[in-house]
Amino acid sequence: MVKHARTKKRRAGRTGRSKLKNRNYQFYKPTKINDDTVRAIWNPRKSPAQNMANMGLQTAVNSSIDARAAIALAQDPNTAKPDEKTAVELFNIPDSDKMNGITMLPGKTFAQRKLPVSIEDQKYIRKCLAKHGDDYHSMMRDIKTNDMQYTEYKLKKMAARFFLLTDGQVKVEIPEKVRHLMTCCIDEKKENE
């Protein structure tokens, strides 16, 4: 019977080593929680779903989509329903600017600010819109301009974001085929009239 270098492997210490168990914890390694508020409320003897419900957080956010999650949530009697009295305020989230849900972060340079559509994506969608206008199906099938091979849905979504840009955010030339769809061009047209 062939040993396939068993002796060499044994001498190298790759086989035959017994692994020692970690005896630092009695049952399991407890979770490390960095936030003081959550650490004060978290009970290690309860399940994560029960702890989140005690903090006022929803545990099964996809229960409307996933039928199994909704059934499991309904059958668990220990899980408390989140109510406003037990909700814990963890973070102070500032209200968004009027940028269709995108917060503009003040920065020192233009590259440090968050744009709704990056400059590279603006160049890419501008090239596609200049050739095909708002015909996304033909835009998808054209592999010369759509060299990243984005789907029709992805191109439509990218173009919709591009159309909502303001004058300060547009860093490329706007194609004539879609100038009538741009929000900043519509505003200029209204001001001229």
Which tens digit of pLDDT belongs to each residue from 120-152? Answer: 999 999 999 999 998 999 999 999 999 999 999
* pLDDT value of residue 97: 41
Quick check: 96 pLDDT over 60? no
Encode pLDDT of 59-71 as tens digits. 777 766 777 766 7
pLDDT at 85 over 60: no
Assess whether pLDDT exceeds 80 at residue 36: yes
- The pLDDT value given to residue 32: 85
| pLDDT score of 18 more than 70 | no
Mean pLDDT to the nearest integer, 13-24: 66
The answer to whether the beta carbons of residues 178 and 134 sit under 8 Å apart is yes
Nearest to 166 by CA among 122, 107, 109, 111: 122
Residues 6+ apart with CB under 8 A from 146: 128, 139, 140, 155
Q: Tell me the two tokens of residue 155.
A: 């191109």
Cα separation, 105 vs 113, in Å, equals 5
Phi/psi region, residue 15 (left: phi>0; alpha: psi -120 to 50; beta: rest), is beta
